[in-house]
Amino acid sequence: VRATRLILGGAGALFSLFRDPHFVRRALRRVVMALRQLEVTALIVVERTDDDKMARYEVEEFVADNVVILRNRLDNERRRRTAEVLKFRGSFHQKGEFSFTIDPVDGIDISPISSLASSAEAATTRISLGVPELDQMCGGGVYRDNIVLVSGATGTGKTLMVTEFIDSGIQAGERSLLFSFEEDREQLVRNASNWGVDLGAAEAGGLLKIFSEYPERRGMEDHLIHMRRAIQDFKPERVAIDSISSMEQSANARSFREFILGVISYLKVKRIAGMLIHSSTEVIGNPPLNDAYASTIADVIVALRYVEEGGAVRRALTVLKMRGSQHDKRIREYDIDGDGMHIKELHGGEKGIGSGAAPSAPQSDAALGASAQKRE
């Protein structure tokens, strides 16, 4: 046959005929030596009955030149496949476990995050976020390759920011992808129309594609593969995810971190502007971002919050972070109406807005005088 590749599947069944591990090792070594003389590349498949063992007889890894371990673990009520290159004789290899999925078309699909690297220069051109006042706060917009994280409580206008971000790209003739894990497509199109944005027309014109599904439908690895494939096929200039908090609730910490790093790394490699939405559990005051892993690797962070002032609840916005650019660090009040988001000038009660509590009311002259007499 003059074969150059040999696959020995189910070798564990053959080894089970012999009880002596030393005999198995000697026999396997003879097979390996014979294959080397024939210059044949061999793939030997053995089963593992215990995650703590490399192989059933613990001899195969010493004879083989390379060892790859496949695992299928129960992770947060969902199976998670990983691959680890334990041994690669005579050459450097990446360490650790890497998630993979089995696709009916492409077969095994694995993409180590550390293999994603961009050699292109950082972008110097800026794009609009869709809100003119916010663009001014960011020094004229964000850079073309920036990842923007928007964090806020429910009702603060996070989905509106996504809509205006997408619409800004559409108005500039750019393709956009929207991944929604909280609302279905019909709701998104209807709500956007209330702000004067026609997402349906953008879809029909080929400038927008919306993917809407519940995060529990797939595992984190499958979501990442699906999103990466959609980006490859559609080739967008902008990508928005609403929201990553929904993804976080359906996975454990490690899977979620790998997912976020995979998404952001891929967008960086493709030089795509991205907007990620994070839902805060704090209704009043500063949104907690310590638990949002994306906050450490995002380029821009916009925080939306509610504040109490004068017996009323208002909305406030601030740009917490912007890599490589000067930005307005002040806290600004904003309103939402049928035309979208409108950011106002700096509010007089800046202290109250920053703390999330109502600012102290100014005292009258009579009250100040009484207070002074009391101190005396």
150 and 258 assigned to the same domain: yes
- For residue 35, the enclosing domain spans 5-115
Is residue 372 included in any domain, yes or no? Answer: no
Which band of pLDDT confidence, cut at 50, 70 and 90, is reported for residue 238?
A: very high
Q: Which of 139, 142, 144 is nearest to 120 (CA)?
A: 144
Angle subtended at Cα 162 by Cα 147 and Cα 120, rounded to the nearest 5 degrees:
25
Total domains in the fold of the chain: 2
Q: Which two tokens stand for residue 94?
A: 């990446």
Is residue 238 included in any domain, yes or no? Answer: yes
At which residue do the structure tokens 């019909």 appear?
186
161 and 88 assigned to the same domain: no
Q: Mean pLDDT throughout 102-130?
A: 79
151 and 297 assigned to the same domain: yes
The answer to whether 315 touches 164, Cβ cutoff 8 Å, is no
pLDDT at position 201 over 90 = yes
Q: Mean pLDDT throughout 40-52?
A: 80
131 and 17 assigned to the same domain: no
Last residue of a domain, one of 70, 91, 115: 115
Residue 282 or 144, more confident: 144
pLDDT at position 260 over 70 = yes
Q: Mean pLDDT throughout 45-64?
A: 69
Name the E strands within 45-106.
Answer: 66-75, 78-88, 97-103
Is residue 368 included in any domain, yes or no? Answer: no
- Residues whose CB is less than 8 angstroms from the CB of residue 57 and which lie 6 or more positions away in sequence, other chains included: 15, 21, 24, 25
71 and 131 assigned to the same domain: no
Q: Residue 368: what pLDDT?
A: 39
Q: Residue 98: what pLDDT?
A: 86
Residues 304-331 as b/e (b if ≥16 CB within 10 A, e otherwise) read: bbbbbbeeeebbbbbbbbbeebebbeeb
Model's pTM, two decimal places? 0.80
Tens-place pLDDT, residues 160-184: 999 999 999 999 999 999 999 999 9
67 and 194 assigned to the same domain: no
Tens-place pLDDT, residues 61-99: 777 889 999 988 887 777 888 899 988 988 888 888 888
Last residue of a domain, one of 83, 115, 147: 115
The CATH number of the domain where 109 resides is what?
3.40.50.300
Percentage of residues of the chain with pLDDT beyond 90: 48
Q: Residue 360: what pLDDT?
A: 44
pLDDT at position 358 over 50 = no
Q: Residue 372: what pLDDT?
A: 45
What are the CB-based long-range contacts (under 8 Å, 24+) for 62-69?
A: 62/25, 63/25, 63/28, 63/29, 63/32, 64/32, 65/89, 65/90
Last residue of a domain, one of 56, 84, 115: 115
